[in-house]
Chain A
Amino acid sequence: MEQLIKKMAQDTVWQGWVAANSASAAAKDGCISAAPKDGCISAAPKAGCIS
């Protein structure tokens, strides 16, 4: 595990790791724009939300 951590922290590997997560992070930031699709506004009546 220790060796693997050091290997992951090397520049080229680390950049790849950040990129692998940044792709997800970018999409995650898109949660706001995805909200209407999920029905929070326009689709809310279709989803039939209840409290």
Chain B
Amino acid sequence: MNRQPHVRADDLTALLGASLHEEVVRHFERSTGADRAHVERQVLECLRYLYLVSRHRERLGGLFLPVEQEIDEIWHYLILQTREYRALCEERLPGRFFIEHRSIAYEEYEQEPGREQAAEEALRWIPLYCREFGPFDEGALPHWTIVRFLHERMEMTLEDISALEPLGS
């Protein structure tokens, strides 16, 4: 398979800017009591989520949040820094559009598409993530709900999960 170069963690941090990145990390270290490495990984996965939505708007826009609540909180924090968030979305992320946010419970969300489509939508993130950032590792596992579910509840290895191909490919 012809692989494009992966988007590196440093590249994503640079999109946010060193100053705002440090501010976000410090805020969540203070407010959650989590250690710095854990918070930095959460911020990285939040940026990866936003990057994917921006890069694959047609396929991923409007889908249920695939990451954990703590990462949603980081997203909320970024949204509140309105100028910087707008610049991140419209000037630095690849899609160059403002990424909207809307709260919705999963029970409400899954009524609309139905089970199989909702399952496909949850799985859709995986090959796109791996294509952009490389295979899932242990560090990403706690933050991506679908990956953790496949690993813990369906006993799939991270290698098997990362090898999933998009539907119809």
Contact = CB atoms under 8 A, between A and B. Distances in A.
Chain B at the A interface: SS class: helix
Interface of B: 31, 64-65, 68-69, 72-73, 76-77, 80, 103-107, 110, 115-116, 119-120, 122-123, 145, 148-150, 153-154, 164-167, 169
A25 B115 contact: no
Contacts of A17: 119, 122, 149, 153
Contacts of B119: 4-5, 8-9, 14, 17
Interface of A: 1-2, 4-9, 13-14, 16-18, 20-22, 24-29, 31, 34, 37-38
A28 B115 contact: no
Given A1-B167, A14-B119, A31-B76, 18 more contacts: A1-B166, A2-B167, A5-B123, A8-B119, A8-B122, A9-B116, A17-B122, A17-B153, A20-B148, A20-B149, A22-B107, A24-B69, A24-B145, A26-B105, A27-B69, A28-B69, A28-B72, A38-B31
